[in-house]
């Protein structure tokens, strides 16, 4: 059963509750696209604008950042509501949607790519469907990994068919929705990952867990989660039980490093802990981030303290 933290949110009328439920359902089902505000040029990185198809043909837009003389490649997948360059949460409408949970600050992913490049990795990063500059698909909805898994597969097919990358050693850096999508791709298309060496996975999350916490912070009674699910089903056709990365984690077969803000007010430690426990191999690690309750600090952890993740990549991609 999903645990919900207590909070001191104001008591809401039924009409106000209905409005909050619809707002959360709308923002979750079809989040505002984040623009691609930054480029690798800001970190003096050479890069190529690339486009390639998802498994089902959706056009995906991305960057290929070469590392001269390297035969190692990291494919980076972004969180829900972000683009490959991050999320401009210092601006509206993103600020209003995140500031109440302490996440009203920008996340810029370009420094991540600089760190990976300087460590000797080529990088492919791209916008998932219905995000950034990639194509619209499936009615514009975000599916918590079900449809987005096809994008993960498409990125692997792309690098295996591109002349200069086809023989490279591959690792994955899959954040949040990117991790959920990777887990589901491993569940549905396990053969695609046969030659992938490892996965670094910040902050995967179960849909019901994060939405239950968002309701609690908005002052909505916990029993209204069923009303919220019904609204999401009407918008997407997808129920919470269909999007459970804890179950998908049972299909992970490559060395996996998970990390998560332990006291993230939008989730709970047991969510990621269960995913970790369910990964059925010995080559796995879970690292907690302490000293913050802001989820976005987890997305910035790599650029602040990258050594544990770089050591994981080095260990399994050497």
CA dist 109 and 283 (Å) reads: 27
CA angle 289-295-301, nearest 5°?
Answer: 45
- Binned at pLDDT 50, 70 and 90, residue 7 comes out as very low
Topology given in CATH for the domain delimited by 31-206+243-317: Rossmann fold (3.40.50)
| Cα-Cα end-to-end distance for the chain | 41
Contact of 287 with 258, CB cutoff 8 Å = yes
- Average model confidence (pLDDT) across the chain: 96
The answer, yes or no, to whether the previous bond of 309 is cis (omega within 30 of 0) is no
CA angle 191-197-202, nearest 5°?
Answer: 100
- Binned at pLDDT 50, 70 and 90, residue 11 comes out as confident
Cα-flanking dihedrals φ and ψ of residue 179, to 5°?
Answer: -70, -45
Report percent pLDDT > 70 for the chain.
97
- The pLDDT assigned to 1 comes to 43
Please report, for residues 26, 228, 229, 306, the alpha-carbon distance to residue 235 in angstroms, rounded to integers and kept in the order given.
Answer: 8, 11, 10, 39
Q: Convert the pLDDT of each residue in 23-43 to its tens digit.
A: 999 999 999 999 999 999 999
* Domains of the chain by residue range: 31-206+243-317
The verdict on pTM exceeding 0.75 is: yes
């Amino acid at each position: 059963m999903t645990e919900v933290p207590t909070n001191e949110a104001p008591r809401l009328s039924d009409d106000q509750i209905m409005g909050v439920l619809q707002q959360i359902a709308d923002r979750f089902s079809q989040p505002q696209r984040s623009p691609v505000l930054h480029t690798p040029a800001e970190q003096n990185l050479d890069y190529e604008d690339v486009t390639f198809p998802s498994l089902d043909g959706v056009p995906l837009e991305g960057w290929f950042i070469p590392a001269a003389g390297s035969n190692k490649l990291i494919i980076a997948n972004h969180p829900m509501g972000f683009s490959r360059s991050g999320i401009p949460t210092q601006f509206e409408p993103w600020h209003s949607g995140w500031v109440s949970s302490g996440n009203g600050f920008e996340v810029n992913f370009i420094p991540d790519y600089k760190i990976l490049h300087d460590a000797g990795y080529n990088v492919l990063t791209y916008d998932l469907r219905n995000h950034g500059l990639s194509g619209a698909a499936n009615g514009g909805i975000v599916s918590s990994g079900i449809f987005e898994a096809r994008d993960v597969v498409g990125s692997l097919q792309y690098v295996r068919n591109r002349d200069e990358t086809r023989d490279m050693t591959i690792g994955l850096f899959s954040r949040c929705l990117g991790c959920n999508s990777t887990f589901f791709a491993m569940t549905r298309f396990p053969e695609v990952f046969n030659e992938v060496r490892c996965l670094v996975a910040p902050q995967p999350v179960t849909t019901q867990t994060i939405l239950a916490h968002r309701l609690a912070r908005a002052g909505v009674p916990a029993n209204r989660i069923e009303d919220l699910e019904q609204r999401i089903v009407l918008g997407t056709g997808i129920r919470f039980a269909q999007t459970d990365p804890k179950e998908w984690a049972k299909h992970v077969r490559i060395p996996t490093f998970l990390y998560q803000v332990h006291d993230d007010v939008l989730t709970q430690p047991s969510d990621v802990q269960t995913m970790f426990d369910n990964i059925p191999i010995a080559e796995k690690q879970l690292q907690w981030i302490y000293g913050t309750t802001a989820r976005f600090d987890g997305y910035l952890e790599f650029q602040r303290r990258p050594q544990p993740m770089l050591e994981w990549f080095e260990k399994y991609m050497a």
